[in-house]
Amino acid sequence: MKETGQEQTDQDAGTSPQHGPRPFDEAWREIEKRHAWDIRVTEYNNPEPAVSRFPFVWSDYDNCYAAVFREKYRLDQIIAEAEDDWDALLRLRHWVFTNMVNDTRASVSGVEPFTILDPFVLLDASRAGGTFWCSHFSMVMVAAGTACGLPVRKLSVDCEHTSAEKGTHHGVVDVWVSRFRKWVHMDPNYDHHFELDGVPMSTEEIGKRWQTHRGEGIQAVIGPECRPVERGRRGKPEDHEARTHFWHSIECRNDVFRRDGRRSKSMAVMPVDEARKAQRWFQGTPPNTFEKRGYADGTLMRTEDLSDAYPDLDAAVLDVRSPHKMPYYCRVGIATPCSPFFSHYEVRIDDGAPERMEGIEYPWRLHPGPCTFEARTVSLGGWPGPAYRIAVHVDANKERTPAWP
């Protein structure tokens, strides 16, 4: 078929008119011009990660106290047969549930604040017959996840209620799960989480589902075997459990193994929307209710941007750059905005064996036919992050003449 004048101009410029818009089009154009190729992007799994404006902090994986915690309680054995990070987190949650005893009259309630937040003290006291509140379960879950190189954050949740009503203030956690590329709500106090259509939910998703559907469709799932149950915890049968997640705040400092001698109250991020902005968060029992601590002193940072509360972790964002003068190669930059226990990147070319990479740029050698580039982070605990992937198909164009710069 005879080409039009515009199509011929495109060919002379080293482009392929059938492609249309392509990610990193400038880099592909340069490679096409140099080698007389046509490059078609066949797969593009490279989402832009959400980045928070607030600092979230975890203890280092190789913190000496984290290492002792891991060894003392044999956590490596708990997760030894885990299939992936999600399976490991389910096993750790169950371990916390079976090693702590819940009671509203917590036996450590009068102990000095520094001590009651120490996960070693909490577990030792539990094994000596102590009982604990939900927040203590959450602290031990944060410690267990951190010691195994898995990001876990402490949260507070509460129901939608007025100052004249009793709230349901409760301590839970969020865990980052690379299998799902999202944050997932967990309650170690009751060894459960919630799912919608078989997909584990974040705390924000649970709260939104209460606002829009009064929790319809949410399934409580309990134990490491993920057994569906009618409810995850006790409550009024007429009240869906999603109601208890209307409010939530997320602590920024989850470095539970720090030894600064203060144990100061952590700054916390609270997502707000129109429904939440129209109300106030109250705690306590009527008539002695009070506004949620943090409104006045600035430790509760309200935000309408969900990226602030739910940043994507362990990303390996790909950036295809214009090539150097070496033939066949293009440059792929890799970056991770936030990877708490980062060790290195793992790269796979054409679905081959994984290669360890510790730099920030990889020379990807292209060739006629299908070409794939896949990268992910790997943590110090050995956990792989989500896969970021680009696939192209390269065809030789005999009607072109290679044009080197």
DSSP string, 310-367: SPPPS--EEEEE---SSTTEEEEEEE-S--TTEEEEEEEETT---EEE-SSEEEEEP-
Dihedral angle sign, alpha carbons of residues 128, 134, 136, 141: positive
Domain ranges of the chain: 5-49+314-396, 57-309
Instruction: Tell me which residue has tokens 């879950």.
Output: 141
Q: How many CB atoms lie within 10 A of CB 349?
A: 16
309: helix, coil or strand? helix
The per-residue pLDDT for 127 is 85
Cα(167)–Cα(181) distance, rounded to whole angstroms?
A: 32
With contact defined as beta carbons under 8 Å apart, do 267 and 252 qualify?
A: yes
Dihedral of the CA atoms 109, 162, 293, 300 (nearest 10)? 130
With contact defined as beta carbons under 8 Å apart, do 185 and 168 qualify?
A: no
| Nearest by Cα to 100 from 65, 142, 42 | 142
Instruction: Tell me which residue has tokens 């030792």.
Output: 124
Cα(244)–Cα(255) distance, rounded to whole angstroms?
A: 27
pLDDT in tens, the chain (405 residues): 333 333 333 333 334 444 458 999 999 999 999 999 999 999 999 999 999 999 999 999 999 999 999 999 999 999 999 999 999 999 999 999 999 887 766 555 444 444 557 899 888 888 888 878 898 999 999 999 999 999 999 999 999 999 999 889 999 999 999 999 999 999 999 999 999 999 999 999 999 999 999 999 999 999 999 999 988 877 666 678 999 999 999 999 999 998 776 555 678 999 999 999 999 999 888 999 999 888 777 789 999 999 999 999 999 999 999 898 888 999 999 999 999 999 999 999 999 999 999 999 999 999 999 999 999 999 999 999 999 999 999 999 999 899 888
The per-residue pLDDT for 6 is 38
CATH annotation of 5-49+314-396: 2.60.40.10
The per-residue pLDDT for 8 is 35
The per-residue pLDDT for 325 is 83
Phi, psi of 35 (to 5 degrees): -110, 5
The per-residue pLDDT for 117 is 72
Is the N-terminal amide bond of 287 cis, ω within 30° of 0? yes
The per-residue pLDDT for 394 is 98
Distances, alpha carbon 140 to alpha carbons 117, 261, 267, in Å = 9, 19, 19
Phi, psi of 88 (to 5 degrees): -65, -40
Cα(314)–Cα(32) distance, rounded to whole angstroms?
A: 32
